[in-house]
């Protein structure tokens, strides 16, 4: 048999119906649901008298709107309605829900893996573009719109045109102080926000294999920022060990059987991709974005670029517009840009290892006066584990606020908003205009770089902060 990529293997195994001239009808193994993109889908089911076909393959939580200061104070009545609507819908259609006070509550892309719902070889969808996160486990995971949410609820399938395959190969090793976040930001800066459009990415290469599962989630999370439908990594022993003993993972003998199957999904030697992009691990520095899309960024040692540096007219216009919005002068050193806010959290960087890394930088230092810094764990489980290690104390002693779990300031749908004109160093995934609040200015960075910005009041190359040296 011809060698295959993991993408082809998973795709072929999930075809329910195939017909010339039509997309394939794919079976969906796991459907994750949250409060923002689901109400209209449930309403559609009700209007057409349809049921949820497989509540047992569906799991819901609340994350986008939830307050992170006091769980019981939801100031916005419309947010409250959206949450209570999800509660009613889950009750009516028999779906398991981790609601706002549930010990498993958290960002949907953090809790899926935590609970062991996310497994290699599964097709996973959610009405959220960062569903690609689950690809870290060798699952085919992608974001869908609300009409597709309704379609999956009703049929447990989706019509999908098979995307092309794109290999993103990261060779060599990442340098000291360079993280998974820097890796993916560097890929996007090098190849652009639509490098992956129409494709599913498989990340390969030594630098990828060396990443922990949590780091792999950070990389796959931002596949959508490169335009890709999904991004995944072939499962290996790390994948298997992460899942061992998780609540919804197979147990006992079943686990060993599953593990053997998972490992068999890895891309075969000699399999071909439609396209391949490469980057050397050694060439990646800690990254900071300076513009209004995730490709507008560079290594911390660089300066804000001049629009005329760009070849295409469309790029020159976009860059000029971005610099105007960001209030930045071309030629300013990135290390000279002062910040007002620091946000450590989001489905990209809110897991225990992210918080540990940030705490290591924050330990024994103080958040600069005038800087508001918040740490928002990705889930209640992460929060509890961090508190057991005393990370909350490290952060609060340094002057960070320690919050409840949720999406929070990544998209500012709750009360965690960056005020207009203020500049934020953020570990989230999007620096779009107004993303963190109308008029807010977002710079994407790693947790270490965010903590360094908090304690120095400006972007600082984390490698220069001596104490992080082991």
Partner 1 sequence: MEAINKFNGVVCPLNRANIDTDQIIPKQFLKRIERQGFGQYVFHHWRFDDEGNKREDFIMNQTQYENAEILVAGENFGCGSSREHAPWALLDYGFRVVIAPSFADIFYNNCVKNGILAIRLTEEEVEELMKKAEEPGYRLFVNLKDQDVFDRKGFVAEFDIDPYWKEMLLNGWDEIAVTLNLEDNIKKYEEKIAAGK
Q: Which residues bind partner 1 (CB under 8 A)?
A: 16-17, 21-23, 25, 27, 36-37, 39-40, 43, 48, 50, 53, 64-65, 76, 78-79, 81-82, 85, 127-129, 142-148, 150-151, 154-157, 159, 161, 163, 193-194, 197-198, 224, 227, 229, 293, 314-315, 317-318, 321, 411-413, 420, 430, 432-435, 438-439
From CA 289, how far away is CA 445, in angstroms rounded? 7
In this structure, are residues 374 and 407 in contact, taking their beta carbons and an 8 Å threshold?
A: no
CB of 388 to partner 1, least distance (A): 33
Task: Tell the residue number behind the tokens 């652009």, with chain if given.
Answer: 192
Q: Which tokens sit at 98? A: 């981790």
Helix (H, G, I), strand (E, B) or coil at 1: coil
**DSSP secondary structure letter of residue 134:** G
From CA 307, how far away is CA 313, in angstroms rounded? 9
Is 347 flagged in the annotation as binding?
A: yes
Of 26 and 334, which has the nearer Cβ to partner 1?
26
Helix (H, G, I), strand (E, B) or coil at 59: strand
CB of 155 to partner 1, least distance (A): 5
Q: Cα angle vertex 378, ends 377, 381, to 5°?
A: 85
Q: Which tokens sit at 33? A: 């649901």
Of 26 and 398, which has the nearer Cβ to partner 1?
26
CB of 330 to partner 1, least distance (A): 19
Name the nearest CA neighbour of 204 among 168, 164, 230, 165.
Answer: 168
Is 220 flagged in the annotation as binding?
A: no
Of 145 and 245, which has the nearer Cβ to partner 1?
145
CB of 135 to partner 1, least distance (A): 15
Name the nearest CA neighbour of 140 among 213, 65, 201.
Answer: 201
Of 356 and 422, which has the nearer Cβ to partner 1?
422
CB of 258 to partner 1, least distance (A): 10
Of 317 and 387, which has the nearer Cβ to partner 1?
317
Is 126 flagged in the annotation as binding?
A: no
From CA 109, how far away is CA 127, in angstroms rounded? 11
Of 23 and 245, which has the nearer Cβ to partner 1?
23
CA end-to-end span of the chain: 48
CB of 110 to partner 1, least distance (A): 18
Instruction: Please state the separation of Cα 369 from the chain's center in Å.
Output: 30
Residues that constitute the known binding site for [4Fe-4S] cluster: 347, 407, 410
């Amino acid at each position: 048999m011809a060698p295959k990529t993991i993408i082809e293997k998973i795709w072929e195994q999930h075809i329910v119906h195939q017909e010339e001239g039509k997309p394939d009808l794919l079976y969906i193994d796991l459907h994750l649901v949250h409060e923002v993109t689901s109400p209209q889908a449930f309403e559609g089911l009700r209007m057409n008298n349809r049921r949820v076909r497989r509540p047992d393959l569906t799991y819901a939580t609340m994350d986008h709107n939830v307050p992170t200061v006091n769980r019981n104070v939801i100031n916005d009545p419309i947010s409250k309605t959206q949450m209570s609507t999800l509660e009613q819908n889950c009750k009516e259609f028999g779906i398991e829900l981790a609601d706002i006070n549930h010990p498993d509550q958290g960002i949907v892309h953090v809790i899926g893996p935590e609970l062991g719902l996310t497994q290699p070889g599964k097709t996973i969808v959610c009405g959220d573009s960062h569903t690609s996160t689950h690809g870290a486990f060798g699952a085919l995971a992608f974001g869908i719109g609300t009409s597709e949410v309704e379609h999956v609820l009703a049929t447990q399938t989706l019509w999908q045109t098979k995307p092309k395959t794109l290999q993103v190969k990261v060779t060599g090793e990442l340098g000291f102080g360079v993280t998974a976040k820097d890796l993916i930001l560097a890929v996007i800066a090098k190849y652009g926000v639509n490098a992956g459009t129409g494709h599913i990415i498989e990340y390969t290469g030594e630098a990828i294999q060396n990443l922990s599962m949590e780091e792999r989630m950070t990389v796959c999370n931002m596949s959508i920022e490169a335009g890709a439908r999904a991004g995944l990594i072939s499962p290996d022993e790390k994948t298997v060990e992460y899942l061992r003993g998780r609540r919804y993972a197979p147990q006992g003998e079943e686990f060993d059987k599953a593990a053997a199957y998972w490992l068999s999904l890895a891309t075969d030697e000699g399999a071909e991709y439609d396209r391949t992009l490469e980057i050397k691990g050694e060439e990646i520095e800690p990254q900071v974005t300076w513009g209004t899309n995730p490709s507008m960024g560079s290594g911390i040692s660089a300066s804000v670029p001049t629009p005329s540096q760009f070849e295409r007219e469309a790029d020159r216009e976009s860059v000029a517009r971005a610099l105007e919005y960001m209030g930045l002068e071309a030629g300013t050193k990135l290390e000279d840009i002062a910040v007002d806010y620091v946000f450590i959290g989001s489905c990209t960087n809110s897991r225990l290892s992210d918080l540990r890394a940030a705490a290591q930088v924050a330990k024994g230092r103080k958040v600069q006066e005038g800087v508001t810094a918040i740490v928002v764990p990705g889930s209640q489980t992460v929060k509890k584990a961090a508190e057991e290690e005393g990370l909350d104390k490290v952060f609060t002693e340094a002057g960070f606020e320690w919050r409840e779990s949720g999406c929070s300031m990544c998209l500012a749908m709750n009360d965690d908003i960056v005020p207009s004109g203020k500049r934020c160093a953020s570990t989230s995934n999007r620096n779009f205009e107004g993303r963190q609040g109308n008029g807010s200015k977002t710079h994407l960075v790693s947790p270490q770089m965010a903590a360094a910005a908090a304690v120095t009041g400006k972007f600082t190359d984390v490698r220069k902060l001596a104490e992080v040296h082991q």
